[in-house]
Structure 1
Amino acid sequence: MTGIEKLKAFAKSPHHAWLGLITLGAGLATVSTIGAIAGIAAYALGWIYLPDSRLFKNWLAARKQGDEGAKLRDFLYQRRQIYDALRSPVRARYDTLATEIAQLQEAFSRDHRLNPEILRQRSERLSSLAWTYLRLLHTGEMLDHLIETEDPADLEHKIATMEKEVGAIEPGSKAGLVESMQSRLQSLKARLEKRRSAEESRELTASEQERIAELVKLFRADHLASRDAGALSHEIDGAAVQLDRTNDWLRGLEFDTSPSDIPQELTAAAPLKVGK
């Protein structure tokens, strides 16, 4: 927290309210110029010393912990909803990957060659992999549902039939009917376009799911085979860049309804397995 941020937090804290009451309030209560000046001076000194006091720092830490706890509970709730909406075989795929990542994190923690900062970075990025994988599974389910419920051949047949019907109507006659049929045509064409777009997105979603699963296996194999404990960090960093591109793609995909922009610190704080 910067100095300005600390002062802003102090201004909104109960410590500031008590400072003003005790100094300015007491100074004004004396009904004297000297008392008022003394109160203002004490108030100013409070602004100088109290933001750096242990009492205020402890209050800030407790508030931060409470805010982070609330954010984590909200994230766990949203993640649980996404997980529960998956079909059983798809949930099993997430459970398998979460187990593999947890085992890899445990292997890293037992490696005496890795310092705490490298361990933290690897843990955060692997947890982000799990969260992105769950989002991809969820998006794949949404796309599958659309693909299963929309028959492109049927839509194309309906579009062709309706275009013939509209073309057969005498120009200038039945204006209301023509307007209604053209509106229906636009709706059918939009559905067909969404169906085609869903097929393309489904292929990419499936490929990204496989890529993440293969990355985890590659990290495990490289960790076991590598003599350089830090070498794997470069591969994980490279995967993190690719992961950012995947998240950007998901963010712009209308079929993805999962929360975006979840920070790594939050996904790292959540247990990998979704609790029952």
Structure 2
Amino acid sequence: MKKKIAARMLSAILVSAMLFSVSGCGSRQAEEASKKTEAAAETKKDSPSDKDTKEENTEAPKSTVKILDGKGITLNNGENNAGTPQSYGEPSQETEVPAESAETEVPGSTQTGPQEIPDPLAGTEERRDLTAEELDAFSAFVSDMENYGFLCSTYSVPQEVDLDQVLYTGAGMSSEPLTFEESAALQAAEGEPVFTDVTHLTSQQIEDFLQRKMGISLSEVSRFSWTYLEQFDSYYVQHGDTNRVTFLCTSGWTEDGMYYLDCQTESGDIHTALTLERSGDTYLFRSNIMQ
């Protein structure tokens, strides 16, 4: 009986020891687990929260690439065209740039718009007085056999020139003696015999002369009284004297290719205000007003 009681007590003591051992181990594990939990909490407290991380990611610029239909590629680094950050989650508004019209001036382009066509008779020379050497040259020019006749009548436009005065002595053009047929035809046309010298020029000679000197045709001239013989296509005039004179250009000025000259004969009988226009290497007679 005593042996049974002792065995039971020993068993109880062993069970208690085992329970105590188990209980102590569990307490240490719980304590270690608790410490690990507290350390994790501290670490989580010190690290940025998900919300902060989300806000930081929201504030950071995001590079996006957007392909616009038919308009190439537009890069937008989180900013709109005005420089203001664009709100994500809202529809992007792309401003379409209008296509450049044909009339828009392109920088660096040499193309220009329509311009006014300049007057072909206008030059670029500024007004200035003629020098003494130039006046001497013009005196020689207007006194030439071809030209002096243009200073013997008054006209404000070339068509008003008195061609009788211009061609009185033939203006330096060749004039052959009359043939028998021409003399007979001229006497018949004028109704009287030929008593004096006769100057005669063909229509083509006169036409070429007027084009070269005034830029007009014979049909435009209103004053010309020579006798015309159609069968010879020539003009004829009888005279025994001459209107030959020499002119001096005393003063003048030029502007835009035009020359304005004050001229007079050596005797001082005729004073004129002459206008010439530069034409290549010569001059066209534009007007002559006798004083």
TM-score, normalised with respect to structure 1? 0.20
Higher relative contact order (CA 8 A, sep 6+): 1
Give the number of the structure whose residues are more often helix, by fraction.
Answer: 1
